[in-house]
Amino acid sequence: MIARLAVSALMLGPAALHADAAGAACERSAFRIVLDVGHSPESPGAKSARGVDEYQFNLALAAAIESHLQQRGYTETTRMLTGGGRAGLGTRVAKANALQPDLFLSVHHDSVQKTYLETWSVNGTDQQYSDRFKGWSLFVSQASGHPRESAAFARMLADRLLASGLPFTRHHAQAIRGENRRFLDAARGIYRYDALAVLKATEAPAVLMEAGLIVNRAEEEQLAGVGRQNRIASAVTDAVDAFCHAEHGAR
């Protein structure tokens, strides 16, 4: 919160064949990936519609992504945990940079502004929810040292999430307090957010993924399930394959 059977190439779909061929052109075992688990026990992030901390969702999804990547041959994948609250952001960046990644992905789950929240009772306790929006979103900093590569990976990931039948949310672009985020790619759910420290200061192509809205009651249940986690993890792994081939395979 996987085991895979070996299948013949004839049984694989076109997307899987393409991803495998792309990955063969890069050295997977040497490609270093940092999976940043968003937030910490001390600063657990958003609260889900049923009162579960975002950090728990981030841990579970990052573990699924790590498993998929390692099974694909990306053995230099690090699931990075960092303590502390906002004051620990500098430590988080320094820790990531010390690992010298070729790619950095920060794993988060999403919420909405207070104006959209309603109250319901869960096991006798009031919790807040909003079913108005659902879906993932991706964030890229154009102020980082790798804006082109970061945007390229975001596009690859967005395309694979969309191909998996998972929609993105547009609520971060709404003209309300706390949002007003500019789209970098409005057709792919990619937002520009230059001020995010983990994107701006990480010395590698970097993307922050909000995997879905845990304040949406139906989507929360899906995001807590192994099926949704594996769908997202598979999309991430295929996107990493494509990115590794494009950025490193020709070198």
pLDDT in tens, 80-101: 999 876 656 788 999 999 999 9
Closest CA to 110 of 46, 171, 51, 60: 46
Instruction: State pLDDT tens for residues 185-206.
Output: 999 999 999 999 999 999 999 9
pTM for this structure? 0.89
Query: What are the DSSP calls for 127-178, one per residue?
Result: EEE--S---BEEEE-TTSS-HHHHHHHHHHHHHHHHHTT--B--GGGSSSTT
Helix (H, G, I), strand (E, B) or coil at 82: coil
Assigned architecture for domain 28-249: 3-Layer(aba) Sandwich (3.40)
Instruction: State pLDDT tens for residues 140-180.
Output: 999 999 999 999 999 999 999 999 999 999 999 999 999 99
For the chain, the domains span 28-249
Q: Which pLDDT does position 9 carry in this prediction?
A: 30
